[in-house]
Amino acid sequence: MEFMKEEIKVGLTNIVTERVTDKNTAKTMGSGSLEVYATPAMTCLMEKAATEALEPLLTEGWTTVGISLNIKHKAATPTGLNVRAEARVTAVDGRKITFEVKAFDDREEIGSGTHERFAVMKEKFMAKALGKAQ
């Protein structure tokens, strides 16, 4: 396909990590009142894992955008621990790529779900988005 310089295959996996700090707690991010890893931070890390898995395989001028995310945040993680997000391609349907996503802290699985991304031409996508400001 025109957007891929290398085929995106089911099973492609990527892992990213971050440390839980005051900057990514629910209290700081506004998604809650406690000083534990925020759900928005976890979802962002899951999307980052998926995005980074695909970027090296895309033709110049193309990227992917998130179009759906269905996750459960199952366990709290205090500051000082590390969080690891894993994204694994489960389906490729034209320009839509589906992932299984999971997140773990140093002790246990803390979240899981599915995430879909769609390949777009950067210039065309941004022109349409910026057209809303007219």
The closest of 74, 76, 54 to 64, measured between CA atoms, is 54
What integer pLDDT is reported at residue 134 of this predicted model?
83
For residue 130, give every residue at least 6 positions away whose Cβ sits within 8 Å of its Cβ, in sequence order, or none: none
Q: What is the pTM of this model?
A: 0.95
Residue 88 has pLDDT above 70, yes or no: yes
For 32-49, the pLDDT digits (tens) are: 999 999 999 999 999 999
Mean pLDDT along residues 19-31: 98
Element (H, E) at 103: strand 96-105
Residue 1 has pLDDT above 80, yes or no: no
Residue 80 has pLDDT above 70, yes or no: yes
Mean pLDDT along residues 41-69: 98
Mean pLDDT along residues 92-108: 98
Q: Report which of residues 133 and 49 the model is more confident about.
A: 49
The closest of 10, 95, 90 to 59, measured between CA atoms, is 95
Residue 51 has pLDDT above 80, yes or no: yes
Average pLDDT of the chain is 97
